[in-house]
Amino acid sequence: MPTSESSEILFCPFCRDGFEGRSECPEHELTLVAIDKLPRKPAAALDGVTFFGDPRLGRGAVLLGATLVLLGFVAPFVRSRAVVASALEVAIDGAGNLWLTPAAAIALLWILWRRRNRRAMIAARAAVLGLAAGGVLPLVYTVRRIGLMADVQASGVEWLWGLWLMVAGLLVAAFGSRWMGGSDDD
């Protein structure tokens, strides 16, 4: 009559098949182990995402950055005397180049919409970096232009949090471009 220890089911560490009453795998000739002693399988590497807003594979920083830019575009941007204007209002009132900043953010979101597997996101890293850098240029130009006009008119200009939110969003997207598609170590 077999003992309770010999009737215990043990598993092969290679094929993971279970055997009762044996101490060695008949196919691989490896010592069988208890189920809790089996080596863990590595998790399957994530190769793509299905949901547009999925932050995995390094997409989160770019998504956050683009969202911050769009929020900053409608937030208070500049105060001159008693007038407070958003970047949207400044763009409508004549600084047409300022439309390029939210356009860059929308292009970043389009890249995230279209590129959902690891290889496609890695291929888009340079484009994301370029769009983030290109989104800053209209901001710099407009800030400089408004600052010069304020100096000519001897009125003070105060830059509000909408500007800083857009700059922060573009910086987050630019730095996040490095990890698009996951790290190089994956």
Q: Is the predicted pLDDT of residue 3 greater than 60, yes or no?
A: no
Q: Which domain holds residue 150?
A: 60-179
Q: Greater confidence, 77 or 40?
A: 77
98 and 34, same domain (yes or no): no
Q: How many domains does the chain have?
A: 2
Residue 186 falls within a domain, yes or no?
A: no
32 and 123, same domain (yes or no): no
The region, left, alpha or beta by phi > 0 then psi within -120 to 50, assigned to residue 64 is alpha
- The partner residues of 159 in beta bridges, in order of sequence, read 78
36 and 65, same domain (yes or no): no
Residue 175 falls within a domain, yes or no?
A: yes
Which tokens hold the place of 63? 């998504």
65 and 151, same domain (yes or no): yes
Contact 71/165 with Cβ under 8 angstroms?
yes
**Could you tell me what percent of the chain has a pLDDT over 90?**
55
pTM reported for the whole predicted model: 0.74
10 and 91, same domain (yes or no): no
Which tokens hold the place of 118? 């690891």
pLDDT at 43: 64
Residue 49 falls within a domain, yes or no?
A: no
72 and 109, same domain (yes or no): yes
Q: How confident is the model at residue 44 (pLDDT cuts 50, 70, 90)?
A: low
The residue whose two tokens read 């763009």 is: 91
10 and 75, same domain (yes or no): no
Residue 158 falls within a domain, yes or no?
A: yes
94 and 161, same domain (yes or no): yes
Residue 150 falls within a domain, yes or no?
A: yes
pLDDT at 42: 66
